[in-house]
Amino acid sequence: MAKERIARHGNTDRLARRLVQIGFLFLFLLPLFPFVYRHVASQPLPDYASWLLPWDPLLALGNILKGNFSALILGAPLLLLSLSLLLGRFFCGWVCPLGTMIDLVHPLAFWKGKKSTRPKRLSDRRNSRFRYWLLVLILSGSLLSIKALGWFDPLVIFSRAATAAVVNLLASPQTLERGGLTYFSLLFLAILGLELWQPRFWCRHICPQGALLSLVTRFSLLNRHVSTACSGCEMCKRVCPMDAIPADAHNTDYTDCTFCLECEAVCPEGGIRFGFGPLALAKWQPAAQSASAGKIERRQGSYTAANGIPGKGLTRRQFLQGTAAAAAGLVLMPLTRLEPRRLPLRPPGALLEAQFLDMCIACQECIRVCPTHGLQAAFLQSGLSGLGMPVLVPRLGGCSLGISCTHLCQQVCPVDAILPVNPQDFKIGRAKVDHTLCLAWDQGVKCLVCVEACQYHAAIPHQGRVVVDASKCVGCGFCESGCPVPGSAIHVLRDDDSVI
């Protein structure tokens, strides 16, 4: 009866964790609800900025290294790091939406059910240090460009994939050809696919966010306690998805432990609990501080008895690897700008093209809130370096800044790649009429659709034909979106349209 009660307690804790994960997942997806509601009900609803990215410590640190200190105003990343010092990697195990999606996908690997109880080889228990070198590479590269943050930050990856799935596909199937499902969304699917191969592969070997949190969580005040009732069956070690039990049940690597409670639920003796400091009962002992800790240290050698983390410090080889990663980050970021590319239309207030490519992380928050859906994820319009970044596609929708939009794209940008702009002064480009396609110019048809669509009175009828007043045109694109000619006979181009 006692064992049954213990098993029920462990399963209850595990269910509570799953409910917390799903609750946070819906909370982070909530900003997408206004778009879905407007699309389904055709009624206006105010948009919300992301509730996830402002908490991102990796994104905040990259911003700071790039010279943008706005992330410190909210203080949310610092609060998350402080909580991690207290609660360990709770964010990875209980809050992170990408981690939640990984856990939800894990049961699909049904063919691995019988293999989960097999003992693991020592090589299977070693998590890669590559995530730390990737962290060094990204942060060193942030001195020049924070582009790599958009490639590897798990919170940005999730935000971008959710936007691509809900906004791009729901708004217009045409975006499939324009980058709605580009490398970035495929990366999200690849991360989930890796879960079918090895549990939490992304978290254990690649995730730079987890590596950053690990630098703090090794001092976690929340501990895993194992009682003297432990029979040494190693079931906890076999089911740990993070391989955070490197030696035996009494040893825990807090740089990897996400407090998922899997070990507590599977323990046949009910000998595992989690708490702050020593528990009230004398039989409970913090992991890696038991009587067998000395044996663990002598047997494994690579883990300290004090905290269960790599215990030989930074070796010369590791130092050289870190130096090489930092140098690579400084070298690779400028190389992404060497390819020739045509300057695309950017959101109003966007930085100069070179600066924009350095700052934009392709989170696609601006695409989500664009009221006309004119902002789309780029595919190859601006080269590989601009993949997934926002471009204005006037054929799908013009820019309504100063008309019905209060510059929402600037308000939700988490990296200040889009600056405030006076609606009276903004200019995206200039419209040009293709006389060979225009019905009025080529066939003499009295078509004035672009004239009626122009919000700035820049399209002017002249002797039955349309001309554009360059001094009035701001490149909003409504003329292009309204043109009845297939593919449009009027196109918005940047005034500095060129290849760089």
Is the domain defined by 219-300 classed in CATH 3.30.70.3270?
Answer: yes
Cα separation, 178 vs 433, in Å, equals 23
Instruction: Count CB neighbours of 299 within 10 A.
Output: 11
User: Are 456 and 473 within 8 A, CB to CB?
Assistant: yes
Q: Which fold does the domain 430-500 belong to in CATH? A: Alpha-Beta Plaits (3.30.70)
User: Are 127 and 89 within 8 A, CB to CB?
Assistant: no
Instruction: Count CB neighbours of 401 within 10 A.
Output: 23
Beta strands at 430-433 and 490-493: parallel, antiparallel or unpaired: antiparallel
Q: Residue 496: its pLDDT value, please?
A: 61
The distance from CA 21 to its chain's CA centroid, rounded to whole angstroms, is: 17
Per-residue tens of pLDDT for the chain, all 500 residues? 555 555 565 578 888 999 999 999 999 998 888 888 877 777 777 777 788 888 899 999 998 888 887 766 777 888 899 899 889 999 999 999 999 999 999 888 766 654 444 444 444 457 888 899 899 888 888 888 888 888 899 999 998 888 888 776 665 555 444 444 554 577 888 899 988 888 899 999 999 999 999 998 877 888 888 888 888 888 888 889 999 988 778 888 888 999 999 888 888 888 888 888 654 443 455 555 444 443 333 333 333 333 333 444 556 665 565 566 566 555 555 555 555 556 889 999 999 888 898 899 988 899 888 888 888 888 766 667 777 889 998 988 889 888 888 899 999 999 999 999 887 778 888 999 888 888 888 777 788 888 888 888 888 888 878 888 888 899 999 989 888 888 888 899 887 654 43
Q: Can you name the residues that pair with 390 across neighbouring β-strands?
A: 377
Cα separation, 304 vs 297, in Å, equals 6
Q: Residue 310: its pLDDT value, please?
A: 41
pTM for the model: 0.80
Nearest to 33 by CA among 209, 196, 218, 162: 162
Looking up tokens 């930074």 gives 314
Amino acid at 260: C
Domain with CATH 3.30.70.3270 in the chain: 219-300
User: Are 128 and 122 within 8 A, CB to CB?
Assistant: no
Beta strands at 284-286 and 222-227: parallel, antiparallel or unpaired: antiparallel
Domain with CATH 3.30.70.20 in the chain: 430-500
Q: In what order do the strands lie in the sheet with 222-227?
A: 272-276, 222-227, 284-286
Q: Residue 307: its pLDDT value, please?
A: 39
Q: Residue 283: its pLDDT value, please?
A: 43
